[in-house]
Amino acid sequence: MDTPDNLRYTKEHEWVRIDGEIATIGVTDHAQHALGDIVYVELPKEGETVTREGTFGVLESVKAVSDCYAPLTGTVVEINDTLNTSPERVNEDCYGEGWMIKIRLSNPSELESLMDHRSYEKFLKEESN
């Protein structure tokens, strides 16, 4: 599984890329792999508030419908509209074109709760056992 070292991760298999006070959020390679072919993505609207550990979207695959949990609290500043028509981007390029939302952080101290790529890899290993 691909786990880029410049990202932070959650136990719910979301990734976060921090750029100043903006966080870009998506689901990890492990998540897209476990879900299988994504057929529908539901995202919040710009301006909505997302709360850490609260749901911010839904991914529907041929196997299941799964909630996506916000890794951090903040306001949605941009969503990846292209996923409406091309949900397969999440499978093809989960860390790039398959990103889901960008939020403006309201509580940067929450960053400490996220895992780095090493801890996430370790977590994946534990989980598979």
Binding site for another protein (CB under 8 A): 34, 37, 39-40, 60, 62-64, 66, 87-88
Residue 43's CB is within 10 A of a number of other CB atoms, namely 19
Whichever of 5 and 62 has its CB closer to another protein, that residue is 62
Whichever of 18 and 39 has its CB closer to another protein, that residue is 39
Q: Transcribe the chain into DSSP letters.
A: ----TT-EE-TTSEEEEEETTEEEEEE-HHHHHHH-SEEEEE---TT-EE-TTSEEEEEEESS-EEEEE-SS-EEEEEE-THHHH-TTHHHH-TTTTT--EEEEES-GGGGGGSB-HHHHHHHHHHHH-
